[in-house]
Structure 1
């Protein structure tokens, strides 16, 4: 079973955190399993934009973005070229992932 590290950076200035992730776990799963606050109003089924994150490294080893995910990212606050939904970023490769969690002072879509 492949294991990579996911480093979480926080827009609010909190210290970075790095946690292991096994193949098949999402960024959202790893965040929640390690008490990292990442909103997920839809329960992590690609039905909203609240688990919006920025992938700073490791994008090539994540699944390609789907049309549905892209539609929800368009509804997120301050979407960027490296925006993804944490629930859709499933570990599948060998490359470590670096994620920035933006400010979450909203309820989202």
Structure 2
């Protein structure tokens, strides 16, 4: 099983984390399954940008982004060439290093 290394994020994963993910799992599902509460306002349906991640290593091993994802990514905060929506990025055989951006564009977010 590939390893996903999550770089430290002040709110979601302050110390960073390494998790194992089954091939064919979305990065978003893998993070959620291991207690990293990444936002996913559209319930992982590729309709928002709240699950945006930057893939620092292993980007080429992921499935290609489709046109809908590419269009949405244009609206993501902190967009970089290695940006993906984690709900659409499918884990293959290679380990990944991902960074969760500091901000998202989620006007409906509630802090509990």
TM over 0.5: yes
Match of 1:6 among 1, 4, 7: 4
Which 4+ residue blocks in structure 1 deviate beyond 4 angstroms? none
Change in Cα spacing, 1:52 to 1:37, as seen in structure 2 (3 Å) is: same
Q: Is 1:99 the counterpart of 2:91 in the alignment?
A: no
Q: Deviations over 1:72-95 (max 9, x none)?
A: 111111211111000011112x21
Unaligned runs of at least 5 residues, structure 2: none
TM-score norm. by structure 1 comes to 0.89
- Any stretches of 5+ residues in structure 1 without a counterpart? none
Distance 1:51 1:63, change over 3 A: same
How many positions carry a matched residue from both structures?
106
**Offset of 1:104 from its aligned partner?**
3.5
Structure 1 residue aligned with 2:21? 21
1:56 counterpart = 2:56: yes
Q: Deviations over 1:37-64 (max 9, x none)?
A: 2110011111111100000001111001
Q: CA RMSD in A?
A: 1.8
Flag the 1:83–1:105 CA change in 2: closer, same or farther, 3 A. closer
Once the two structures are TM-superposed, the CA of residue 68 in structure 1 deviates from its matched residue by: 0.7
Aligned partners of 1:76 and 1:108 also within 8 Å: no
Deviation at 1:16, TM superposition (A): 1.5
> What is the Cα deviation at residue 66 of structure 1?
1.1
Any conservation in 1 of the 2:50–2:104 contact (CA below 8 Å)? no
- Rounded Cα–Cα distance in structure 2 between residues aligned with 1:47 and 1:24: 21
